[in-house]
Structure 1
Amino acid sequence: MNVVKSKLNLLNRELGALEFNRRVLALAQNLKIPLLERLKYICIVSSNLDEFFEIRIAVLKEQLRKNPKSKTQDGLIVGDAYLNIVKETQTLVSHKYKIFQKDILPRLEREGVHLHFESAWTPSQHRWAKTYFEKELVPLLTPIVLDPAHPFPKVINKSLNFFVTLEGKDDFGRTPKLAVVQAPRSIPRVIQMPARISQKPYGIAILSTFMQSFVHELFPGMKITGCYQFRVTRNSDLFVSDDDISDLKESLKGELSTRHLGDAVRLEISSDIPDHLLKYLRKSCDLNPEDCYRVDGPVNLMRLMQVAEIVNRPDLKFPSHIPKLPLIKGSIFDELKTRDVLLHHPYESFEPVLNLLRTASKDPDVLAIKQTIYRTGNVSPVMDALIEAAKNGKEVTVIVELLARFDEETNISWAAKLEEVGAHVVYGVVKHKCHAKMIMIVRKELLPVKGKRKPEHTLKRYVHLGTGNYHPRTAKLYTDFGLMTSNPSICDDVHKIFMQLTGTSRLIKLKSLWHSPFTMFDQIVKHIQAEAKAAKLGKPARIVVKVNALLEPAVINELYKASQAGVKIDLIVRGVCALKPKVKGLSENIRVRSIVGQFLEHHRIFYFYANGKENVYLSSADWMDRNLFRRIEVAFPILEPELKQKVINEGLNELLKDVSSWNMNSDGLYKQSASASNNKLSGQQNLLLKYSVVTKSSKRKLKA
């Protein structure tokens, strides 16, 4: 048997992240997608790249600063890997701006959505813009002249700034040459021009245009010879030493206060800046030439997401839909005594989950609620329900993951509010992020008795387990499954995990759930090997896995072995995948596809044929080292046959036949399905039609 061990290659991992963004950019070019949605995809790529630099590139830059010749764990020289990644990133950024300038902007113009730039302003537009600048912007702007008393400022992470060149002498007799103007984040980046001034249905002006037109008003008596927008991205990874934590929350607060001033990792700058000024800027930021990105347009395209919000043109957006509410008769607790409820978001509403919590918070028979929180948002009905439950005297325990990246401040704030009303707040386990999505409700109920015996009370548990965060907004944008159940085995396992998280335990044995960092990896390997064994015996064998990323080397090697044993394997991997399919003698029985569509594919599904038993597990865990060994995760089984078939049909089969899928070749590169250009609906569109309450016009639009 030819088994080639998979090695986690840093270069391939980062290039894989860029490759995913190329697939998103392909949506921005897809003429079948409404125009404002195509603009959103441009913005999404911009946001993805921000995080790519703040975290992934920041780690490489840190290694480079310490030792340019150092090697990664997989033997790559960090400097060489970095240059390869930068080259591909530069190409991607150039492609993104080309789509924006040559395709999206002209089409917006034809639809009456006009971006007004200074060169084409009419006299009345110029007067309006000048008035707006003087009244709304000047009071908030602080020009900083660069001289020995005012060195180059350490501009904060991802802020919009302007580098200004000057001539002349000021009242103090100084002859400044350079200045920096930082745009406060309170200033809107996208401003709607009144229709009577714009002479267009939707006239849009961006902040950089105002600055480049009127920046001279900030330097009276001086001649402005140039004004160039720029943006610095900084290392935003938090470092909290495991060896010196007496209070995780306080330690984290200290890190958050300086996050926006970390080491620079990227400089984005107007494409027209002279070379000598760019050199001055990058040296001031301690960056190399390869760290600089000249861009043809706004340095932060992410802010143009506001354009889609301003423009009220439903015909230029995806058809609106109302998620379906499942039929639940009477009390949610009575319903869960008789059957499990499985919700498929965003096609089905998140409201039943909120209803479960709200009902529990008010029900006099509910004694306790326990929940994990990873991401939930600044405004959260989930947290509101937990706070109300605590006020109503329930024992509320919340595992708040303080290290949920970029949500740390929000989670600290919610933790404080929960503690104020008497809830028990636990911050998870040091070194292991709590990524599992769990709710457990404990209710006092009467046991049914026969005859004239006096009714007895018992404590009954109800559980919600999900693949996605308890975040109502993302529940409308991400595909996720959520299971509500009173199954005793599952509920007992969840109870044990909560006890482990809030207390201490050397070993807990679970009956139904797989549990990272303890049993999930072993269970995954065990199930893959069982399918390989069945295939060798000539029995039917099948594996279908849907995850966001597949990187764990040992798991990949087991999949290779199973393929060689004859197991038919389908992998639906939205993002980075280190496994290569269709390689002769290695992975001929493996197919890898990626689905990138209207919604972010987010649920993780593990399917094993299991001699016809068809074991189906749902999870929030990707098949990555961090999820399997360094996070608290669970995978939970779907036991009821009808619900199991629902997961198989909607979560797997619908995507396996998706005409818009991207298929990976044996070289690791993706190619979109040849049938993507036909008029068949995608898997997501089919599910929208199946579940959503849509208008007739929306249905026609989906089918068009």
Structure 2
Amino acid sequence: MNQVVEAAHNYTFHDRYINRELSILDFHLRVLEQAVNPGHPLLDRLTFLLIFSRNMDEFFEIRVAGLMEQLTLGNESHTPDGLTPKEVLERISETAHAAIERQYRILNEEILPKLREEDICFLKRNELTAEQLAWIKKYFQEQVAPVLTPISLDPAHPFPRLVNKSLNFIVTLEGKDAFGRNIDLAVVPAPRSLPRVVRLPNELTGGKEHHVMLSAIIHEHVSDLFPGMTATGCYQFRVTRNADLALNEDVEDLAKALKGELSSRRFGQAVRLEVTESCPAHIYDYLLKEFQLDSSALYKVEGPVNLARLTSDFNRPHLRYVPFTPVIPKAFKKSESIFSAMKKQDILLHHPFESFGPVINLLREAARDPQVLAIKQTLYRSGANSEIVQVLAEAARNGKEVTAVIELRARFDEESNIAVANVLQEAGAVVVYGIVGYKTHAKMILIVRRENNKLIRYVHLGTGNYHAGNARLYTDYGLLTTDKELSEDVHRVFQELTGMGKTVKLKKLLHAPFTLHQQLMNFIDVEIANAKAGKVARIIVKVNALTEKQLMDKLYEASQAGVQIDLIIRSICCLRPQLPGLSENIRVRSIVGRFLEHTRVYYFENGGQSRIYCSSADWMDRNLFNRVEACFPIEDPVLKKRIYEQGLINYLEDNQQAWILQPNGQWLRVEMKEGEQPHTAQKVLLDQLT
């Protein structure tokens, strides 16, 4: 044991931890690899390619922007992995340039040719027939030109403020304009109201799905925008800006302050410039200077610069996953109402395999049931038109005491959440925005119902958001329960969120930023003690990210004591597994498949009396110290076994969509061993639950 401890001490900070930004970039690369995975249908492979684009957009808007801001402020401090912001940016630039080059190579050499084999074509200008060119000319004149605003670049017209991630064209010109001026450059922004992909009429394609990009249509007729002049060049470009909101937590009205900040997101500091491959050096140098960027921020792409919008309703069902219908658990089929089903037993929902409908139905029943007195719910990501919001508004209009704790600062959903707050307030609901300085990330519903002169509480707790669309795409757990102690805990947390006072003491629920982190440390300590006593000691954690240093150090300590640890981490993992003397008993895997893995489950062997918790919280500093999170125990033996087998062991056996983190920080795809049968965790769940 002393040799193990000594070996652990030989590791420096740099050896122990992986950089957070580089780790999330690695996750995006795992998503990109799905675009070449033959196990996915062709159009789903295209979808993964577009998801990678959206992921990278947000990565630059938030993560890269934050690092660039640190550089501007002169921050040269080292992160736990030993890198400065400048060094991290250099590594990001190298990896991101290679990844985006690979993305377009996959598009041009694999996806588009295979789509063409299926008669789904994105035609280039030189491929268009005379009839198609005539149709495009008419389309440009009638649908495109009237909403375009070409902007000449001259002393009277400085370079325009261009919206974040908008498609634009820079045009080189010859000749004089109507006022006799020699204008050699102009910018043409493409309005976001215009579709980026235009399908040609069936009569011009023989019924085949042939499309033309908006960029090609504008390029073909750009000279028409400058009468009497000649366009000698037309080049797409797009700028990505800092989109993180800087909000003073001391504001008097959070909603009003957020509204003011949202407009600034569209015009933040530039962090990346994308140009088409054909753009000449003097043009992109000019753009870099205008956006105050150096050459490392330039990305030359061989295709559309706004690839994330390369979408269309392709009529090819055989090129997509076979649709499935989420099932309704049997417990609801045997009962007349959601309330009666919940009174009989705890009910576990595993989305997307099981329907999100029971959650909506619970609220709908509550809204219309005269015995229901109050409904309280947290909303992190939703929409004003969502069924849940409409049902809550109906409940308020029906005289129920409806309280909605809305987290306005859910990134990129701020505007939508403000709209949700307005809808509910107009219906008569009480809307609160949680605690200043702490995002409310817990997923909770509390319904109070009068039954035989007693008040009964019905509770839903989840690992994911109350968003029906996400419930079809993300894997999440939801628990429906009437457990008295757990219901009382949820009641107390709502009181904490809407009122004032000291920290409440809870009986079963663990909640951040108060008890969750310390209790997790305690649970790991129990496993350490059991391992040292010669007992079986095991930890399995399934979360989206692991970055919190104290927990990582405690897991290292547990590994040294002999605790067997399996971490199923979707994206960021800053812990280094399999280091001799430090983490040789820790294994880390990531599952990237058809659905986005989003369940958060914590398992501790606990000397044979296993503990299983589900939670809204990842193992990150922000979740454990700067957010309100709920972590709830699964106590029913049947449900515990189900989560252990389906939600944990099932994923540890995946040999098709799993990646393994190496000690050096690299992720390698799992390879099947000789004699092994293919095992895909998500497919197993589809087969078992739907």
TM-score by length of 2: 0.96
1:476 has 2:472 as partner? yes
Distance 2:283 2:607 in 1: 68
* More deviation, 3-12/225-234: 3-12
Shift of 1:681: 4.2
Contact 1:7 1:553 in 2 (8 A): no
Distance 2:207 2:425 in 1: 52
1:367-382 aligned at under 5 Å gives the runs 367-382=373-388
Distance 1:295 1:552 in 2: 36
1:268 has 2:274 as partner? yes
- Counterpart of 1:491, as a letter, is S
Q: 1:530 aligns with which of 526, 531, 534?
A: 526
Distance 2:86 2:537 in 1: 44
Aligned to 1:442: 448
Distance change in 2, residues 1:679/1:293 (3 Å):
farther
Shift of 1:671: 1.0
Aligned to 1:608: 604
Distance change in 2, residues 1:568/1:344 (3 Å):
same
> 4+ residue stretches of structure 1 with deviation over 6 A?
8-11, 676-679
Aligned to 2:291: 285
Aligned to 2:684: 686
Distance 2:218 2:206 in 1: 22
* More deviation, 203-212/667-676: 667-676
Aligned to 2:423: 417
Contact 2:463 2:599 in 1 (8 A): yes
1:362 has 2:368 as partner? yes
* More deviation, 402-411/375-384: 375-384
Distance change in 2, residues 1:10/1:168 (3 Å):
farther
Aligned to 2:128: 121
| Cα shift readout 1:208-254 (whole Å, capped 9, x = no counterpart) | 111111111111111111000011111111111123x0111111111
1:400 has 2:397 as partner? no
1:221 has 2:266 as partner? no
- Counterpart of 2:104, as a letter, is Y
* More deviation, 277-286/674-683: 674-683
1:348 alignment partner, SS class: coil
1:576 alignment partner, SS class: strand
Distance 2:203 2:529 in 1: 73
1:464 has 2:460 as partner? yes
Aligned to 2:326: 323
Distance change in 2, residues 1:319/1:429 (3 Å):
same
Distance change in 2, residues 1:80/1:666 (3 Å):
closer
Distance change in 2, residues 1:292/1:33 (3 Å):
same
Shift of 1:580: 1.2
| Cα shift readout 1:92-143 (whole Å, capped 9, x = no counterpart) | 1111111111111111101110101102111111111111111110111000
Which ranges in structure 2 are unaligned for 5 or more consecutive residues?
none
Contact 2:17 2:576 in 1 (8 A): no
Aligned to 2:182: 175
Q: 1:195 aligns with which of 173, 197, 202?
A: 202
Distance change in 2, residues 1:534/1:681 (3 Å):
closer
Distance change in 2, residues 1:20/1:46 (3 Å):
same
1:339-358 aligned at under 5 Å gives the runs 339-358=345-364
* More deviation, 212-221/35-44: 212-221
Contact 2:346 2:482 in 1 (8 A): yes
Contact 1:442 1:461 in 2 (8 A): yes
Distance 1:466 1:635 in 2: 9
Q: 1:296 aligns with which of 283, 302, 322?
A: 302
1:148 has 2:168 as partner? no
1:298 alignment partner, SS class: coil
| Cα shift readout 1:313-336 (whole Å, capped 9, x = no counterpart) | 111001110001112111211111
Contact 2:384 2:423 in 1 (8 A): no
- Counterpart of 1:311, as a letter, is F
- How many equivalent residue pairs? 677
Distance 1:669 1:368 in 2: 51
| Cα shift readout 1:608-641 (whole Å, capped 9, x = no counterpart) | 0111111000011110000000000011000100
Distance 2:435 2:643 in 1: 32
**Percent of matched pairs sharing the same residue:** 50
Aligned to 1:695: none
Q: 1:26 aligns with which of 16, 23, 33?
A: 33
1:575 alignment partner, SS class: strand
Distance 1:321 1:351 in 2: 15
| Cα shift readout 1:503-541 (whole Å, capped 9, x = no counterpart) | 012121111011100000001100011001001000111
1:548 alignment partner, SS class: strand
Distance 2:677 2:533 in 1: 43
2:546 alignment partner, SS class: coil
- Counterpart of 1:321, as a letter, is F
Distance 2:457 2:18 in 1: 47
Contact 2:542 2:600 in 1 (8 A): yes
Contact 2:383 2:389 in 1 (8 A): no
- Counterpart of 2:287, as a letter, is L
Q: 1:77 aligns with which of 77, 81, 84?
A: 84
| Cα shift readout 1:19-61 (whole Å, capped 9, x = no counterpart) | 1111111110011211000000000000000100111111111
Shift of 1:676: 9.1
Distance 2:354 2:329 in 1: 7
Aligned to 1:45: 52
- Counterpart of 2:660, as a letter, is N
Distance 2:147 2:616 in 1: 44
Q: 2:314 aligns with which of 289, 311, 316?
A: 311
Aligned to 1:655: 651
Which ranges in structure 1 are unaligned for 5 or more consecutive residues?
447-456, 693-704
Distance 1:546 1:488 in 2: 27
1:629-644 aligned at under 5 Å gives the runs 629-644=625-640
1:241 has 2:239 as partner? no
2:266 alignment partner, SS class: helix
Shift of 1:348: 0.2
Contact 2:173 2:230 in 1 (8 A): yes
Distance 2:673 2:467 in 1: 32
1:257 alignment partner, SS class: helix
Q: 2:585 aligns with which of 586, 589, 596?
A: 589
TM-score by length of 1: 0.94
Contact 1:437 1:620 in 2 (8 A): yes
Q: 1:545 aligns with which of 525, 541, 544?
A: 541
Distance 2:561 2:84 in 1: 36
Contact 2:17 2:574 in 1 (8 A): no
Aligned to 2:614: 618
- Counterpart of 1:662, as a letter, is W
Distance change in 2, residues 1:30/1:183 (3 Å):
same
Aligned to 1:450: none
Distance 1:10 1:134 in 2: 57
Distance 1:10 1:273 in 2: 40
Distance 2:598 2:540 in 1: 16
Distance 1:671 1:257 in 2: 41
Distance 1:392 1:200 in 2: 52
- Counterpart of 1:275, as a letter, is A
- Counterpart of 2:72, as a letter, is R
Distance 2:145 2:306 in 1: 21
Shift of 1:198: 2.5
1:562 alignment partner, SS class: helix
- Counterpart of 1:332, as a letter, is I
Distance 1:77 1:590 in 2: 27
Aligned to 1:674: 671
* More deviation, 670-679/50-59: 670-679
Shift of 1:679: 6.9
In angstroms, what is the RMSD of aligned CA positions?
Answer: 1.5
Aligned to 2:493: 497
